[in-house]
Amino acid sequence: MSDCMDQANEQNSKDSAAGQPPEPQELQDLRVRIDDVDRRLVELLNERAQIIVEVGQLKRSTGTPIYAPHREAAVLKRAIASNKGPLPDRTIEGVYRELMSGSFALEQPLRIGYLGPAGSFSHQAAVAQFGSSVSFEDLHAIEGVFTEVQRGHVDYGLVPIENSTGGGIVEALDAFRDVADQVFVYAEIQLTIRHALLANCEPKDVKRIYSKPEVFPQCRKWLSVQYPAAELVPAPSTSRAVMMARDEQAADANAGVAAIASTLAGQIYGVNPIFEDIEDNPNNLTRFFVISRQKAEPSGDDKTSIMFTTEDKPGALVRVLSIFDRAGVNLTHIDKRPSGRENWRYTFFIDAVGHQKDEPLKGAINFARGDCETLHVLGSYPRARRIL
């Protein structure tokens, strides 16, 4: 009690010296209680961290992957189930993601590859998933993320795979063809996407707009009304688009150059948001894959991504899909890309509910191989239930 009084008297002395009225005693007592809880929290966090150090030593000695998505899913599920409020579940999840990020650094420093530069939506998704205590590497292109994971130059990669408005991300789908059976889908992330028009000129002066090609369809209606005559120029990433717009405008004050990207990218590279939330769909989401050289273990709530080409026979695709139907397997997504090997032949991508080790999915996959020229399981991974 004397400690509380001492702290309260000290605060009142500071307030008097600053010419401010003294705080109510009740508020001072509450702050003292918060300070005490904070001290105990730090002690508990470091007690947890010491156990993590031992876990890391054991994992390294046995070759166990440092990042295990099924374990992450279980920890988050348990933490959220234990939450009785008043903190919202999203806050609890955020705290635990940063805790796990710090744990990675204690067990073994991780390097995460992504499509940058910093400020891209891939960068935001990577930070949201892995926290701020790991190392992030801008690999400049989606194909480069796959290549560097395959070579072991980064521990994990993060790539966009599908947008709820624009559909599949073609660079990522195509890249899987070259690394099948070497790089696997390890986890999935869903991120809310908010686009802004960024420029260092007046809105009426905008004549050219840069962004990643997949972004323009997500803002098609808004652009057709506000900038129907503007030139839409593709860029390698949204954050690179911001840098290009900044540099061109700086070189020529009359250039009238803008970019569509996140407001974060504008803050990082010094380009002003002139219109925010310009996406046509307010529920605009992008799904990302974490890719790895390891395979994820079952979590109890999984999805499996499969890539296949069918035989050149009538009804081949229908037969493959009907195999999963008869097995009672729910297919949640289907996409196709040109095979890249023969004109008018296609590679199909499907997502199925379940883990490849589970029956009946395991049996359906094996049976489907008989009607396919090629079939690759790209990975089984915990299903993303929450939106970051």
pLDDT digits (tens, 9 = 90+) for 20-71: 777 888 888 888 999 999 999 999 988 988 888 888 888 888 888 888 888 8
Q: Where are the alpha helices (DSSP H) in the chain?
A: 2-17, 25-62, 69-81, 89-107, 121-130, 142-151, 170-179, 215-218, 220-226, 238-251, 263-269, 316-326, 361-368
Per-residue pLDDT of 170-202, as tens digits, reads 999 999 988 988 999 999 999 999 999 999 999
C-alpha dihedral sign at 257, 260, 261, 267 = positive
- Whole-structure pTM value: 0.82
Nearest CA-CA partner of 232 in 256, 210, 251: 210
Other CB atoms within 10 A of residue 220 CB = 15
What separation in angstroms does the CA of 1 have from each of 4, 149, 169? 5, 57, 62
Write the single-letter amino acid at 194: R
Which range, 16-25, 46-55, 92-101, 299-308, has the best average confidence (pLDDT)?
A: 299-308
pLDDT at 305 over 60: yes
The torsion defined by the Cα of 166, 141, 268 and 212, in degrees rounded to 10, comes to -30
Give me the domains of the chain, ranges plus CATH numbers. 24-107 (1.20.59.10), 110-192+284-294 (3.40.190.10), 196-282 (3.40.190.10), 295-388 (3.30.70.260)
Rg (CA), the chain: 25
Give 376 or 94, the one with higher predicted confidence: 376
Per-residue pLDDT of 115-174, as tens digits, reads 989 999 999 999 999 988 899 999 989 999 999 999 999 999 999 999 998 888 999 999
Write the single-letter amino acid at 154: V
| pLDDT value of position 65 | 84
| pLDDT value of position 1 | 46
- Lowest mean pLDDT of 11-15, 132-136, 224-228, name the range: 11-15
Cα separation, 193 vs 121, whole angstroms: 8
Write the single-letter amino acid at 105: A
Q: At what angle do helices 25-62 and 89-107 cross, to 10 degrees?
A: 40
| pLDDT value of position 68 | 82
* 254-265 average pLDDT score: 96
- Lowest mean pLDDT of 71-80, 239-248, 281-290, 352-361, name the range: 71-80
* 343-349 average pLDDT score: 83
Cα separation, 101 vs 208, whole angstroms: 40
pLDDT at 10 over 80: no
Residue 202: which region, alpha, beta or left (left: phi > 0; alpha: psi -120 to 50)?
Answer: beta
* 347-366 average pLDDT score: 95
User: Which residue in this structure is represented by tokens 């090609």?
Assistant: 213
Other CB atoms within 10 A of residue 304 CB = 24
| pLDDT value of position 386 | 84
Q: Provide the CA 282 distance to its chain's centre, in angstroms.
A: 18
Structure token pair of residue 330: 């729910």
What separation in angstroms does the CA of 283 have from each of 164, 274, 286? 8, 21, 10
